[in-house]
Structure 1
Amino acid sequence: MRSDWSMSIRRACAVTRFDPTTYRYRCRRPHCPAVVCKQIMRGGQAALEQRIKEICQTRVRFGYRRVHVLLRREGWMINQKKTRRIYNELGLQLRNKHPKRRVKAKLCEDRQEAVGPNDVWAMRCPAGECLHSLRGDFVHDQLATGRKIRVLTVIDTYSRYLPALDPRFSYRGEDVVRTLETVCTWIGYPKTIRVDQGSEFISRDLDLWAYRRGVTLDFSRPGKPTDNAFIEAFNGRFRAECLNAHWFLSLADAAEKLEDWRKDYNEHRPHGAIGNKVPMDLIKSEHAASPCS
């Protein structure tokens, strides 16, 4: 209007009934969302969509919330609603299989929650069967040759740190002891380890090891998997994000891929239960705040 009719700003605002202060307003904040959104609209929208696609291609089980956390780490100044809108427009929504039974079991009344790293660990040794078939509450896996393997999973319930992912063809009590001793020599011994009633965990070898190291074995009640809910929830993520995404050619190949995924889980993957931090950062902050450090 100003260029066509040679009007002043005041005259143009009066004709259109537009407030001159609104016309002259400029955001003074360097990271103002309005300024950033304009920059995205000018050419960054395609780049943002491409980056979201790249993240979802490498992390196929990540929803829009974790994708948004990774984008903010990289410096994208967008809100979660925009990430969700683009995520849905690209058709990247996940379809979760809801369990048929939803029974909440009562936990032990005298059970104490973890208050620091290495306070309470959760552990399980799931049976190994076909990689692409899911039965019950177990993590199923096999090599490309068809030979079944078993993976011992151990997690710190406070920091969500994953000390060990140890695949073997078979597991006995002495194998569990050997794996735990290897892990504890460089990260320390936990106060309590929550385990189920599996034959590997009720063996004399593990009982003797726990007695000598001052570790308490907290057994879950038969038929009550929610007594060890942390490891049950982790095994579901482990199955979806790792086992279903890889094909193992040999036991050594499985150990290598599981170790790479374990490092990514501990050092890069955001965890909603600990404020979208990574377990390593939480452990470092706890050690820094400790009076003994």
Structure 2
Amino acid sequence: MLSETTISERKACSLVGLSRATMRYQSQRSPEERELTERIKAIAFERRRFGYRRVHQLLRREGAEVNHKKVYRLYREAGLAVRKRKRRKGVMGERQPLVLPDAPNHTWSMDFVMDSLSNGRRIKCLTIVDDFTKECLDIPVAMGISGEQVTRTLDAIAAFRGYPKAVRTDQGPEFTGRALD
């Protein structure tokens, strides 16, 4: 900027309130720090899910006497950061129109209901309802119900009533897992 104007460096620094020594200062990085930065980059590219803490641990195992704060500073200056994992969405097929059942066992609806006990612990209830008769087929209750438990419950009901033509759910994590495929 000074080369574009006719003002001197001394005058410009005094107008801005900056010391001339500060104006001329250029940081000198030590060769050890440059090597450390290169090693941090190499580890980060080799193991993309490692943040600065795990990089620091690997450097310590390699015998480098380095402070975690210095590793953090160099990690950030190098522009490194662990990418956030993208949430894996369940496979959403094409939306089907809501069909009214015309006979028992045509469609079943399933949903989870949460409640808490007097001691504060949470329980999960899986409600399974026949849409035609509005009959509640089963309500298994547990602290947590996995996708495998859902399939076991459906198989137990189907042993007495047979399988329905369709099952309607809200596409929650228990219903979109691999256990129900």
| TM-score, normalised relative to structure 1 | 0.28
Structure in which a larger fraction of residues adopt strand? 2
Larger Rg: 2
Structure in which a larger fraction of residues adopt helix? 1
| TM-score, normalised relative to structure 2 | 0.45
